[in-house]
Chain A
Amino acid sequence: MILVLVEHDDGVLTQLSAESVALASGLGSPLHAVALGPGSDGLRALPAAVQAVHAGLGSLDAYAPRAWAHALADVVAAESPTAVVAPGSERGNEVMAYLAALTDLPLAANCLAATPPEAGGAAWSLVRSRWAGSLLEDAELATGGPALLTVALGAAPGAAPAGSGSPQVVVVGTVPDDADLRVVVADHVQPAGDGVSLADAKVIVSGGRGVGGEDGFAVVEQLAGLLGAAVGCSRVVTSEGWRPHRDQVGQTGTRVSPELYIACGISGAIQHMVGCKGARRILAINTDPDAPIMSKADYSVVGDLHAVLPAIVAEIHRTRAERAAAV
Chain B
Amino acid sequence: MRVLVCIKRVPAVGGRIVLDGADIDTRFLGFTMSPHEECALEEAVRLVTAHGGESVVVSLGPPESEEQLRYALSLGVERAVLVETDGGELGPRATARELAAVVGAEEESGGTFDLLLFGNEAPDSGDFQVGIRVAEALGRPCVSGVKQLSIEGGTAVAMRDRGRGMEVYRVRLPAVVAVKEGLNLPRYPSLPGRLKAKSKPLARRAVVGGGDGLRKVGLRVPDGDARGTQSLGTGPDAATRVVEVLEELGVLAP
Contact = CB atoms under 8 A, between A and B. Distances in A.
Nearest to B230: A299
Secondary structure class of chain B's binding surface, majority of residues: mixed
Given A100-B129, A301-B234, A269 B213 contact: no
A136 B93 contact: no
Contact of B15 (A183, A203, A226, A269): A269
Nearest to A143: B213
A298 B228 contact: yes
Quick one: which of A96, A190, A300 has the most chain B CB within 10 A? A300
A184 interface: yes
Given A101-B132, A298-B228, A183 B141 contact: yes
Given A134-B17, A183-B171, A202-B251, A188 B162 contact: yes
A298 B230 contact: yes
Contact of B167 (A123, A188, A299, A304): A188
Contacts of B232: 283, 299-301
A291 interface: yes
A320 B254 contact: yes
Interface stretch (A21-29, A36-44, A45-53, A106-114): A106-114
Given A136-B219, A260-B249, A296 B227 contact: yes
Interface residues of B, number: 88
A205 to B, nearest CB: 11
Contacts of A135: 17, 19, 24, 219-222
Interface in B164-191: 164-172, 180-182, 185-186
Interface in A291-320: 291-304, 307-308, 310-312, 314-316, 319-320
Contact of A141 (B139, B170, B213, B222): B213
Contacts of A202: 251
A302 B222 contact: no
Given A109-B128, A253-B181, A297-B229, A138 B217 contact: yes
B61 interface: no
B236 interface: yes
Given A106-B93, A135-B219, A301 B142 contact: no
B192 interface: no
A271 B123 contact: yes
B215 A140 contact: yes
A267 interface: yes
A131 B129 contact: no
Contacts of A191: 164-166
Interface string B113-151: 000000001011111110011011101011111000000
A292 B162 CA distance: 33
B253 to A, nearest CB: 9
Given A139-B214, A252-B36, A315-B242, A132 B126 contact: yes
Contacts of A71: none
A270 interface: yes
A97 interface: yes
A106 B91 contact: yes
Interface of A: 63, 65, 88, 90, 93-94, 96-98, 100-102, 104-110, 123, 128-144, 150, 179, 182-191, 193, 197, 199, 202-203, 226-228, 235, 238-239, 241, 245-246, 248, 251-253, 259-260, 267-271, 277, 280-284, 291-304, 307-308, 310-312, 314-316, 319-320
19 contacts: A88-B128, A93-B128, A100-B133, A101-B137, A106-B214, A129-B126, A150-B128, A188-B168, A227-B252, A252-B181, A259-B251, A284-B229, A291-B15, A295-B229, A297-B229, A300-B229, A302-B233, A302-B234, A303-B234
Interface of B: 13-17, 19, 24, 34-36, 91-93, 96, 121, 123-129, 132-133, 135-137, 139, 141-145, 159-162, 164-172, 180-182, 185-186, 212-222, 225-240, 242-243, 245-247, 249-252, 254
5 A-B pairs with the lowest CB-CB distances in the bound complex, closest first = A292-B15, A106-B213, A245-B182, A311-B236, A97-B129
Given A131-B124, A239-B185, A269-B14, 19 more contacts: A93-B121, A96-B129, A101-B137, A132-B123, A135-B219, A140-B215, A141-B215, A182-B171, A182-B172, A193-B164, A203-B251, A227-B252, A228-B254, A246-B182, A260-B249, A270-B17, A302-B234, A308-B235, A315-B243
